[in-house]
Amino acid sequence: MLTKLLGALIAGLLLASLLAFRQETAPASGVPSYTSDGQLKLPEHYREWVYLTTGIDMSYNPALSSADHSMFDNVFVNPEAYKAFTQTGTWPDKTVLVLEVRGAQSKGSINQKGHYQGSDVMGLEVHVKDEARFPGKWAFFGFDNETSAKMIPQNMDCYTCHSEHGAVDTTFVQFYPTLLETAKKKGTLSAGYQKETSTKPPAK
Amino acid sequence: MLTKLLGALIAGLLLASLLAFRQETAPASGVPSYTSDGQLKLPEHYREWVYLTTGIDMSYNPALSSADHSMFDNVFVNPEAYKAFTQTGTWPDKTVLVLEVRGAQSKGSINQKGHYQGSDVMGLEVHVKDEARFPGKWAFFGFDNETSAKMIPQNMDCYTCHSEHGAVDTTFVQFYPTLLETAKKKGTLSAGYQKETSTKPPAK
């Protein structure tokens, strides 16, 4: 009886540790979560996800006048999707990509030149792959608060632009330097992107 | 006897799952590792660590002429140290900060303006806190290959500059937007940084 109790106790303790450990190490899970009226909840821990890249003042419109100050774009992806991409060269279902826009500052503390990132988040956009939920598998959400956002309608330009020019599965992997190498090795670059780069190699 | 065996079996299985889970989720462990002759090994999975910030063309010398093309600096920290910082506002022993320098590209694919990050890593510097190993607790390492690097001698300027101007514990937390907020809340900003910002507020 004592042995049985001891066995059960040890098993219980180990199970509890396992669950506690799992909970402690998985706060950053990227499974997309929605409100009852279909809005996407902002992934709370996206800053602890895997970082893909940063751009500054990027635009596909050369005529667009610059804003009055520079902006950085940081891109993060949920760790599960990142891991799958490194193995397959493409995105699994339930991929969540977060684009965080931050104001750029220039002179501050000892910095005299160039730009660094300020505390203000000026925008948050999320691109979600949820095959059973969205007709085109992917959807965009633009957050104007830190809680939830409505889906951007599928007739908006972002969908066609991503679909036509995204290097992998409607996403701009051509701007994610480490993943671009993976996609090249795995042979997962889209036909559109390959055609674009074969006729006009990317300028430095 | 059967109960005892069963208890031991369950306990063993649970322990094995716990260890397997731990191993699977901790490939990015940031404990600094050295070669037998005291060089720091490059942390292999630093791109999967926690991202802190990116700057472009930053310099504390306004007279320095720009290089012929722009460079981004990305900063990563080992997850254990990041977690400790969010709780305490300062860095624990065995903190490893990695600065990755990447060339900036401008026109490529559909991008016409601003800059995005290219595939070439132009530099890698690591700042390590290892209290028992380094007299000043921290040391810098500049990598010119992807394997290991010698410590930068302690009489170099980087040590005094970080010590005098770093917002938290000789590190430039003033340029890590999310952690700067944490340090303010936890009251861990250095006296030097507080004096600097009270006499000359950072310009936007």
- CA–CA dist B141, B129 (Å, integer): 11
Longest Cα–Cα distance of chain A, Å, equals: 81
The A residues from 73 to 112 touching B (CB cutoff 8 Å) are 74, 76, 79, 82, 102-112
Q: What is the pLDDT of residue B7?
A: 59
**Residues of A whose CB is below 8 A from B116:** 53, 55, 58, 175
Calculate mean pLDDT across residues A33-41.
96
Interface touch A193/B64, C-beta < 8 Å: no
CA distances from B192 to B130, B168, B169, B172 (A): 23, 10, 11, 12
**Mind listing the pLDDT tens digit for each residue in A171-180?**
999 999 999 9
Token representation of residue A188: 């997962």
Q: Are B177 and A118 in contact (CB under 8 A)?
A: yes
At residue A198 the predicted structure's pLDDT band, cuts being 50, 70 and 90, is: confident
In this structure, how many other beta carbons lie within 10 angstroms of the beta carbon of residue B187?
A: 7
Token representation of residue B15: 């322990």
> Which comes out higher in pLDDT, residue A3 or A116?
A116
**Mind listing the pLDDT tens digit for each residue in A91-139?**
999 999 999 999 999 888 878 888 999 999 999 999 999 999 999 999 9
Q: What is the pLDDT of residue A58?
A: 86
**Residues of A whose CB is below 8 A from B166:** none
DSSP for residue B146: S
Interface touch A105/B202, C-beta < 8 Å: yes
Whether the per-residue pLDDT at B16 is higher than 90: the answer is no
**Mind listing the pLDDT tens digit for each residue in B135-148?**
999 999 999 988 99
Place of tokens 């070439």: B120
Torsion of CA A28, B118, B115, A171, to 10 degrees: -50
Alpha carbons within 13 A on the beta-carbon side of B89? 14
CA A15 to the chain's CA centroid: 33
Interface touch A175/B11, C-beta < 8 Å: no
> What residue in A sits closest to B180 (Cα-Cα)?
A119
Percentage, residues of chain A above pLDDT 90: 68
At residue A64 the predicted structure's pLDDT band, cuts being 50, 70 and 90, is: low
Mean pLDDT, chain A, rounded, equals 86
Whether the per-residue pLDDT at B19 is higher than 50: the answer is no
**Residues of B whose CB is below 8 A from A7:** 3-4, 6-8, 10-11
Residues B54, A182, B111, A101: is their CA dihedral positive or negative?
Answer: negative
Q: What is the pLDDT of residue B1?
A: 54
> Which comes out higher in pLDDT, residue A25 or A34?
A34
DSSP for residue A108: B
Q: What is the pLDDT of residue A34?
A: 97
Q: What is the pLDDT of residue B29?
A: 62
- CA–CA dist A71, A62 (Å, integer): 16
Token representation of residue B105: 């590209």
Q: What is the pLDDT of residue A128?
A: 98
> Which comes out higher in pLDDT, residue B7 or A95?
A95
Q: What is the pLDDT of residue B109?
A: 82
Q: What is the pLDDT of residue B22?
A: 42
Percentage, residues of chain A above pLDDT 70: 79
- CA–CA dist B49, B41 (Å, integer): 16
At residue B199 the predicted structure's pLDDT band, cuts being 50, 70 and 90, is: low
At residue A10 the predicted structure's pLDDT band, cuts being 50, 70 and 90, is: low
- Bridging pattern class, strands B50-59 and B71-77: antiparallel
Whether the per-residue pLDDT at B77 is higher than 60: the answer is yes
- CA–CA dist B118, A170 (Å, integer): 20
Residue type, B185: K
Measure in Å the smallest separation between the Cα of A64 and chain B Cα atoms: 9
> Which comes out higher in pLDDT, residue B51 or A15?
B51
Q: What is the pLDDT of residue A27?
A: 41
The Cα angle at residue B176 between residues A69 and A107, in degrees rounded to 5: 40
Whether the per-residue pLDDT at A184 is higher than 60: the answer is yes
Tell me the Ramachandran region of residue A28: left when phi exceeds 0, alpha when psi lies from -120 to 50, beta otherwise: alpha
The A residues from 5 to 44 touching B (CB cutoff 8 Å) are 6-8, 10-11, 14-15, 17-18, 21-22, 25-26
DSSP string across A133-166:
T-TTSEEEEEESSSSEEPBPPTTSHHHHHHHHH-
Q: What is the pLDDT of residue A107?
A: 83
Q: What is the pLDDT of residue A203?
A: 53
- CA–CA dist B92, B85 (Å, integer): 7
Residue whose C-alpha is closest to residue B95's, from B73, B108, B76, B119: B76
Nearest to A202 among B50, B57, B109 (CB): B109
Residue B102, Cβ density class (10 Å: 0-12 exposed, 13-18 middle, ≥19 buried): buried
**Residues of A whose CB is below 8 A from B26:** 25
**Mind listing the pLDDT tens digit for each residue in B98-148?**
999 999 998 888 888 899 999 999 999 999 999 999 999 999 999 998 899
